[in-house]
Amino acid sequence: MSHKYDPATAVQRLEQFGEFGGVNPSITDSATYTFLHEKTMLDTFHGETEGCFLYSRHWNPTNKYLAEALAAMEGTDSAWVTGSGMGAITTALLQLVNTGDHIITSVTTYGGTYAFLANYLKKFKIDVTFVNISDLDSVRKAIRPNTKIIYTESMTNPMLQISDIPELAGIARSANVKLVVDNTFTPMVLSPARLGADIVVYSMTKFINGKNDAVAGAICASAEFINDISNVNDGTAMLLGPVLDPLRSSNILKNLATLHIRMQKHGENAMYLAKKFRQIGLKFNYPGLPEHQDHELFNSMMNDGFGYSGMIAIDLETSERATRLMEMMQERGVGYHAVSLGYFKTLFSNSGRSTSSEVPEEIQKEMGLSQGLIRFSVGLDHDIEKTFKIIESCLKDLSFI
C-alpha cells in the first residue's frame, strides 16, 4: 500500500448532518444527558452502549463529529479533541508512561513540550533523553528496557527539521515502544499515522483552525488508545479533564473543511518567499527547496498537492537586528509580530526569545538556533509579491542586503 494519502477527500466525503437535516452537525450544548432507563445509563458508564452520551467531559456529540473528521484526515480509527495542544500532548504522554519509565524525544520540540518533558515529568521520576532526531543511531542507542515512547514533531519548531517517520516507526516497533508525532506544522501535508506513527497529536490552534480565535488540540490514534484515554476508571483524558468545549468544536469542524485550500496557499506563498530570499542571498531555512538537508526526505513522505507548509525561518544573526526588522515589517504591513502560526495573516517572531525561550541557551546553540532567527508563518496573502517587496525594503533600510 502506498503511504500517499488524500486527507482532503477523506474529510470532504464525510456526511455529517444536524438535527432537522442541517448541513452542519448540531451543537450539543449540554454537559449531562438523561436516560429513559437506568440500565442504559449504567451500560454507558461501562462503555457498553453505542451512540449514548453520559457527561461531556467524557464525550460530547459535537466533539465526536470533529474527532471523526480528524480521524478521517489522519487515516486513524479514532480521535479525541482537547482544550489545547498541550492538553493533547500531555494526555497522550501521561497515558503511556508510569513512574520510572523513559522517553526519547527530539531536542527540537515546541517550547511547552520541551518544558513538560524536561521539567514537569521529573515529578513522576520519568527520565527523558533528548536526541538529535535526524541522527537515527542516537535514537537507537538511547533505547532502554524501560523506554515507552519515542516523541518527535514531523516538522520541528523552529529549525524546520523533518523527522524520518517511517524509520522512527521501525525503531519504535522493534523496541516495542510507541511513536508519538506532533503534526501541528504539517496537517494534510504529512500523514504520520499512515507513515507508521502510533499516535498523532495536534495543536489545532494553528493551521487546523486557522483563525487564531481559539486554543485547541487533538489526539488521533487507534480506537483502543482513544478508549483507554477516555476510560472512566483510569483514562488520562477522562480524569485530567482537558476536554474541548463543543461550541469551539463546531467552529473548528467548519474551518477544517477549508484546511486543504489554506495549506495549498500557505505553501505557495512560502515557496515564493523562499525563492526570493534565495535570490537576494539571505540565510534562510525552508524544507521545500533542495538546499534544505531534509528536502528529499520530505518529498518521500509528503502527500500530493498540499505544498510544503507555510513555515520559513531567516537568520538576521543578532537579536537586535531581528527585533528591528520585525518592528519595521509590522509597521509596513507585512503581518503581525506575534507568536503562533497557521493564521491567515503572516506572523513572525524571534524564536530564541519567544516560543523556544524555555529551551536553555546552551541547548539552543546545540540545536543551531541563532539569536537572530525569525520564524515566519506565511499567511494567505493574495499579493505575496508585494509582501516580499516590503520585506526587501525593510532589509535594505537595515543595510542587511
- Of residues 78-107, which lie at the interface with ligand PLP (CB under 6 A)? 84-86, 89
303 contributes a contact to ligand PLP by CB under 6 A: no
In whole angstroms, what is the distance from residue 376 CA to residue 330 CA?
Answer: 12
Contact in structure between 192 and 183 (CB atoms under 8 Å): yes
Cα 317 versus chain centre, distance: 27
Nearer to ligand PLP, 70 or 175 (CB): 70
| DSSP 8-state assignment for residue 337 | E
364 contributes a contact to ligand PLP by CB under 6 A: no
H or E stretch including 200?
Answer: strand 199-203
- Of residues 337-356, which lie at the interface with ligand PLP (CB under 6 A)? none
Nearer to ligand PLP, 107 or 394 (CB): 107
Among the listed residues 101, 164, 182, 198, the single contact to ligand PLP using CB under 6 A: 182
153 contributes a contact to ligand PLP by CB under 6 A: yes
Task: Candidates 133-141, 198-206, 237-245, 387-395: pick the segment binding ligand PLP (CB under 6 A).
Answer: 198-206
Q: At what angle do helices 85-96 and 111-118 cross, to 10 degrees?
A: 30
What is the phi/psi pair of residue 285, to 5°? -130, 115
Contact in structure between 216 and 204 (CB atoms under 8 Å): yes
Nearer to ligand PLP, 62 or 349 (CB): 349
- Of residues 105-124, which lie at the interface with ligand PLP (CB under 6 A)? 110, 112-113
Contact in structure between 373 and 315 (CB atoms under 8 Å): yes
Q: Strands 102-106, 127-131: parallel, antiparallel or unpaired by DSSP?
A: parallel
In whole angstroms, what is the distance from residue 154 CA to residue 82 CA?
Answer: 20
Task: Candidates 73-81, 177-185, 276-284, 358-366: pick the segment binding ligand PLP (CB under 6 A).
Answer: 177-185
Among the listed residues 205, 303, 309, 346, the single contact to ligand PLP using CB under 6 A: 205
Contact residues toward ligand PLP (CB under 6 A) are 84-86, 89, 110, 112-113, 153, 157, 182, 184-185, 203, 205-206, 215, 217
